[in-house]
Structure 1
């Protein structure tokens, strides 16, 4: 039997463990033991936007009222009936919260493969790619935790920065980021801060809760950090782009009302405040536009070619890893947990917003 964590789509606090029989492996398939995966607010965003962005479709439960939240991490091939994928290979990719996964490799090559299962063929290929660690130039065995925790998030951060720069920041010279202590937000702030001293430099303003204020200011990638309650009075009324990682309808309204016609662009990215998500009707200023990272990947793959995109992303990732892993006051502290109870506790803490911003949780079953 295998074990899988499922949630109710209409109430993310309702969860259960589902026992599933270990069926005989079909020709062309591989079975992988999921060794370790990251669980962050990014995953609660997947759940919050599960319907709108098809995240429930990757690992369907067979019950339309429940879903399996996908996570990034590492697995080992334990059984293979697919030529070119061998038992013992270590694979990085997109998994269910489970102790195993069965994939149907297609387009197998030296770097990895895609899952060619019928139900995934219409889903975005970014999430269907599985990388062989032995062939991944970015893989460092001692940094698996950081890769699982930050690599997917930082790719989004890099692409947000690139999207804004590609659009000349919509004429603004200030970028305001909510949930500024979250990993995707401070990754974006880091990329924006790399422009300091250049012609396209912008002022980077972070919005956060009082409890995360000191940590967020200590990062050094924000020019200014404000508490959410200070937005109506302290947020400078100047042309700005708002990048919303928070999702709270109340905060979105406060930013739009404060900036109004000086708000050049409103970019919706995540939902760290998953229980306060709401619509955008009636807001002053521009209507929020959902950012979908694969769209920018597609554009830049056309502009730069796949290798050119990966080179730029790799260079930014290498720079980002320096403050993240430095010996003195690193940005990230890896916290490991094992077993269903550890998964449940971490997931509940993420929903409650009580995970310390310095922490990155790596879990195993």
Structure 2
């Protein structure tokens, strides 16, 4: 079988191309899946932007030096199996390459899923190496596959950000400031933060996306980036940065002399990314969702952690897909050319936040 993969230049992540190759033969214990559908969001652009620093390029090896494969979340079907515990036809949710096919080496199987034990992935975070069997997945319903592809990984990160900040008592802050407020991870975070008493949710966005952010109802205030000076400089606040915009980060740190905490999450402003050294106030600290998840699993137990996470997901899914007032409308992009075009638009920031994009290279 032939495989089609989307490759991205590691040093210029807006530069992408399609690659055609022959699928390798399977070894004993391996399975081959057909990647049926996956989402493309600003979160995937963050994976590319932090590909070296956070090892995202290591999950799926690219065939050429200097190029990488951006990981994506979605659904796949087993089309060939040399593993006795995984049947052809099984439907799986998990972390895939932007490709038509993928090869996994299942390990530590149970009724709910398995880990990929491909050698180069063994030292990478378990969160990204786990594949859920849809037949036993508590998140899964057949009618919500599109919503799961688009929102589920972002919703998990958002839920964990909310949990982390609450665990820390919001570092003594009374407001959470969020950049890239129209991004799905940001508004999912604001959705979860709504249950926290005494914490104001303030989103920053571009003028073009302001009306959308205000329509969500999950922010107490929405400001354009240039309106930062309107905020009281004495407001005790934490900053959760989904944009990665170095200039805005510097202005925000300078505006709040007593900023309580600076949390770096994403890099949606690809052309404006930069480091956080030399800033006044707290040094920006990268939030790594798998670390918070593993901490809570140890403290609460895996079953209780999973129950709470599913409850959070169900609440967000129901609100985001409410037919009367949906936050999310799904667009499908099928075929290699459509996938390449969608990636280029996402990398350039040329997207409407009201839409979620589900892609397939088939």
Uncovered stretches (5+) of structure 2, i.e. residues with no partner? none
- Larger RCO (CA under 8 A, 6+ residues apart): 2
Q: Paired residue for 1:168?
A: 169
Of 298, 303, 310 in structure 2, the residue corresponding to residue 307 of structure 1 is 303
CA distance in 2, matches of 1:64, 1:108: 34
Match of 1:281 in 2: 277
Work out whether residues 16 and 344 of structure 2, in 8 Å CA contact, stay in contact via their aligned partners in 1: no
Report the counterpart of residue 230 of structure 1 in structure 2.
227
Aligned position for 2:204: 207
SS at match of 1:206: strand
Corresponding residue of 1:90:
91
Separation of aligned partners in 2, 1:319 and 1:244: 24
Q: Which runs of 4+ in 1 moved over 4 A?
A: none
Give the counterpart of 1:335 among 331, 337, 343.
331
Shift of 1:351: 1.6
1:282 shift after superposition: 2.0
Find the counterpart in structure 2 of residue 141 from structure 1.
142
Task: Give the alignment's TM-score, normalised by structure 2.
Answer: 0.97
Residues 48-197 of structure 1 mapped to structure 2, 5 A cutoff? 48-195=49-196
1:320 alignment counterpart: 316
Report the secondary structure of 2:301's partner residue: helix
- Supply the distance in 1 between the matched residues of 2:27 and 2:193 (Cα, whole angstroms): 48
Q: Secondary structure at the match of 1:263?
A: coil
1:257 aligns with 2:260: no
- Find the aligned partners of 2:317 and 2:3 in 1 and give their Cα distance: 35
Residue 232 of structure 1 deviates from its aligned partner by 2.6
Deviation at 1:62, TM superposition (A): 4.2
Offset from partner CA, 1:26-52 (integer Å, 9 cap, x none):
111101011000011100000000001
Q: Aligned pair in 2 of structure 1 residues 235, 351: CA closer, same or farther (>3 Å)?
A: farther
Q: Is the 8 A contact 1:176 1:207 kept in 2?
A: yes
Whole-angstrom distance in 2 between the partners of 1:64 and 1:257 = 40
> Which residue of 286, 289, 292 maps to 2:288?
292
Q: 1:241 to 1:278 in 2, by over 3 A?
A: same
Structure 1's 178 and 137: CA in aligned 2 closer, same or farther, altered over 3 A? same
Aligned in 2, Cα 1:311/1:236: closer, same or farther, shift over 3 Å? Answer: farther
The two structures, once aligned, show a CA RMSD in angstroms of: 1.1
Q: Decide whether the 8 Å contact of 2:91 with 2:133 is kept in 1.
A: yes
Aligned residues: 360
Give the structure-1-normalised TM-score.
0.97
| Conserved? CA contact 2:319–2:326, under 8 Å | yes
**Aligned-partner Cα distance in 2 for 1:235–1:187:** 25
Shift of 1:237: 3.4
Asked if 1 retains the 8 angstrom alpha-carbon contact of 2:5 and 2:98, the reply is yes
